[in-house]
Chains A and B, each alone.
Chain A
Amino acid sequence: MNAKNIFKLCVIGSLGMATLGLTLMVSALPAAAHGERSQEPFLRMRTAQWYDTRWNPQKTNVNDEAMLSGKIHISEDWPRAVVKPNRTFINVGSPSSVFTRLSSKVNGTPMMTSGPMEIGGDYEYVIKLRGRLPGHHHIHPMLAVNGAGPIAGPGGWMDIVGNYKDFTNPVKLLVGGTIDTETAGLTAGLFWHVVWGTLGFLWIAWFSIRPMFLIRARVLAQEGGDALLNDPVDRVVAFGMLGVTFTLIAIGFFYTDSQYPYTIPLQAGEPKIKSTHLKSDLTVKVLAADYDVPGRALRMTLQVTNSGEQPLSIGEFTTAGIRFLNKVGVANNMDPTYPPEIMATDGLHIEDESPINPGETREVKLDSRDSLWEIQRLMDLVHDPDQRFGGLIMAWDEAGNRHINSIAGNIIPVFTRATAG
């Protein structure tokens, strides 16, 4: 552990202590606040609904490639309090640039700049990364919405091993040759900063090797003092400095221009990405939902109609990047690398577990019960300005085909255990 890390830990530690102290003042709950949990539940449940997130591989060498991928559904029930996703950017939430981003594709289209997203649309993103800074990093996909801020997706741990000194990030230039983004233009930039800085300090030094203030002020106060302070040698130096400055500017400009004959301005266009839509043979309507505060459970009564040809079983409810599964979900959609801290493999209970048959309409009582509701701070729903919840319901047929429905509805809190049933 070197001095830099110790210093960083000290600063982070003291910030953490300050945060903890402040939190204890307002709440008795321990402050395990990591960015994503501090966002309000209604915002996390009803904006971007994240699913199929993958951090691959979980261990990367410096310079090796890794992938962050997954899908988002833009909730139909986008809250009124949040600016609509007219200009969005799929970002990576990481502690500084621990990876560099090599490419980012959304529904197959490169998303290098920001663009609009459609409410109710579905987007699959694939972000190619390159390991840069060794360490154990918590990485989130993020949907940044202009005017609303970043909406963090689920976070997973990714390790980068090796040595930062070996890191390079070469890019092919259109006119031929490659350039490393880590060092491109660094020499020229430092050179000109040193040149101009030196000239600037020389100019100041020229006047500071002589009496600077008190004496000159006294002379200036006298008759003829102004003329006396107008030293001819300073005028010569000023003319010289003007000449040197203009000459250097011209040399720098024309030399650079000849070095890079083909240049383009910054590109500020926007990608127009076509959305896809969720496919499901089920129609799901939220009849009622309540929220058992002490029991840490969300209970929903859904009216589910199967208009397909196969019997379907509900296996997963996912919201705010947190997954609640039952046996069906585990059998069909269990990714062993998914962070266990944001997944409850026995967190979904259905009163009648038999599959919903083709043509059948059934009232389904769904209960997603787990301490994750509290750990992930989704309990705070009751303090939100908008008492609605949302999420994705996933169901599977015998062959393992998935059917996804985005749901949203009103939610009523239940405060005491006595009324919980």
Chain B
Amino acid sequence: MGLTWANRMCKKKSGVKIRTERLHLYYGSVHALRDITIEIAANRITALIGPSGCGKSTFLKTLNRMNDLAGNVRITGGVYLDGRDIYAPQIDVAKLRKRVGMVFQQPNPFPMSIYENIAYGPKIHGMRQKGELDRIVEESLRGAAIWDEVKNRLDEPALRLSGGQQQRLCIARALAVQPEVLLMDEPTSALDPASTIKTEELMKKLRTDYTVVVVTHNMQQALRVSDDTLFFLNGELVEAGQTKELFLAPADRRTQDYITGKFG
């Protein structure tokens, strides 16, 4: 079933980046993800939509194994990054997370300077050369469209930035470890409209180099930025497809009801 949905998604550029197969996730006795089988295309923006509590964040976190942190989680089925099972025992979780970066709902810079925030990841992974770090910091900040705003104040505490700037800084911080996939959990829900637009523009730009998966509660945003959309309900994947098609002609009644605002 899931695969046929997946086949509706366009894979014009370079095929599948992430694939899940019969994925179930339980928090203790709560069955939070039910039988998710899906393909996420490379170099595209995939939006996850669905009402609160339907498992969007949970699904996102299975993709970089952040679920490992909650003690009572049990997972069955598989998640494959470039065809390799990321839950296989020999997988180095730190390396996996380097490849699959994450940006959270609340902008949350570390309590250090702007420069150090960006250099944090590369340093963790062993980068020591000052010149190379400088280059990565500039490149990441440029990549997150915030370089011009902060280039003269790199030594200032990052917490002095505005909320919108902080969020782009967090994106830059995630980019600094050169990930292949960027997971974003409601990245603009704490931002004002202007910062939201900036962040959305940034996301569209990121598509050329990264595979982006973004959770959003905002239908307009899903429509504006995403190429593909996955609709979740009660831990199940109800429908998946190219965003325009899914919004124009939803195949499932529940999708129709959700995107037209009948519930959620």
Query: Are A and B associated in one complex?
Result: no
